[in-house]
């Protein structure tokens, strides 16, 4: 094998290794992105409402939220605080 042939083989091997490395990096990135998106979609508050919502207490799941209004500061019937 002459010197030129040896150089071509080394170059081809280097290119192949770089290509494999880039492909691997992209693959890992894609997997991480998919995992991140999966996690994010699993934490949608709408899903929380639908899956832990009124189905437990009244039998009908819903994805909206109750409408609150304010009141006089001295008119509470119960307290919601840390417990």
Q: Closest distance between another protein and the C-beta of residue 74, in Å?
A: 8
41's CB contacts (< 8 A; 6+ apart) are 47
Distance of closest approach, residue 37 Cβ to another protein, in angstroms? 11
State the residue for tokens 């109750």. Answer: 66
5 binds another protein per the rule CB under 8 A: no
State the Cα–Cα distance between residues 47 and 54, nearest whole angstrom. 12
Integer Cα distance of 27 and 21 in angstroms: 10
Closest distance of CB 67 from another protein, Å: 6
User: Which residues contribute to the site for another protein (CB under 8 A)?
Assistant: 39-40, 42-49, 51-58, 62, 64-73, 75-83
């Amino acid at each position: 094998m002459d010197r030129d042939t040896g150089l071509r083989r080394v170059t081809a091997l280097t290119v192949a290794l770089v290509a494999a490395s880039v492909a691997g990096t992209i693959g890992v990135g894609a997997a991480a992105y998919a995992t991140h998106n999966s996690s994010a979609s699993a934490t949608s508050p709408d899903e929380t409402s639908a899956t832990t919502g009124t189905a437990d207490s009244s039998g009908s799941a819903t994805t909206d939220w109750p409408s609150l209004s304010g009141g006089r500061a001295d008119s509470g019937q119960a307290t919601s605080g840390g417990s």
